[in-house]
A = this chain, B = another copy of it.
Amino acid sequence: VALIHYPVLSKNGEVIASAVTNLDLHDIARTARTYGVKGFFVVTPLADQQILAGRILAHWTAGEGARYNPKRGEALALIDIQANFSDVCRAIEDREACRPQVVATSARIAAGTVSYPRLRDMVARGDPYVLAFGTAWGLAEDFIEAADHVLDPIGGQRDYNHLAVRSAAAIVLDRLVGNQNRLSFESGT
């Protein structure tokens, strides 16, 4: 999983670098750990934001927080702070000996998006995938166009589709790599 702070859209549709949000790191790390995700990349080109993310990480994995709540540190230990998305792909390639396929997520309805069952089957084959989530008002169009796949929006045709990125990441991971409860759910029994 990669949480992208650049290039993302502002409320007015401009491409910006967004600020790191403490609870994005906590919530998505806990979800990633629960669903067996191998790494959680926090991507920001801004040096001060890298330092902020690094401090949060150190507090919970080595500092006071690690003693107070070791389960939290176990989740946050999945975090890897990177300056840009190419470095994320390179880090995964180093680890997996294979370039990951990039899956962009978006709340917008578009042609050619991949469905959840299809991507679930693809992911189950074991090749590395990186799921990219945009902060602020979502991933920039150039990022989405460069991805290998774009996932169907969560809300489909719903009239309101403004989930927090923390909630979106939880729902997407549950749909793609959900557990036994889900499997019994899928078969409709």
Question: A187 contacts which of B179, B182, B188 (Cβ < 8 Å)?
Answer: B188
Q: Is the CB of B117 within 8 A of A160?
A: no
Interface size class of A (residues with CB under 8 A): 35 or more
Residue A156 CB within 8 A of the other chain: yes
Q: Is the CB of B186 within 8 A of A71?
A: no
Question: A167 contacts which of B27, B162, B179 (Cβ < 8 Å)?
Answer: B27
What's the number of copies of this chain in the assembled complex?
Answer: 2
Q: Is the CB of A71 within 8 A of B175?
A: no
Q: Is the CB of A179 within 8 A of B156?
A: yes
Q: Is the CB of B163 within 8 A of A179?
A: no
Q: Is the CB of B30 within 8 A of A117?
A: no
Please name all residues of chain B whose beta carbon is closer than 8 Å to the beta carbon of A74 when the two chains form the complex.
Answer: 160
Quick one: closest B residue to A69, CB to CB?
B11
A134–chain B nearest beta-carbon distance, Å: 16
Chain A residues 122-165 with CB under 8 Å of chain B are: 152-158, 160-164
Question: A164 contacts which of B27, B158, B175, B187 (Cβ < 8 Å)?
Answer: B27
Top 6 nearest A-B pairs (CB, nearest first) are A167-B170, A27-B164, A156-B179, A156-B180, A171-B174, A170-B170
Quick one: closest B residue to A161, CB to CB?
B34
A104–chain B nearest beta-carbon distance, Å: 16
A169 to B27, CA, bound (A): 12
A83–chain B nearest beta-carbon distance, Å: 27
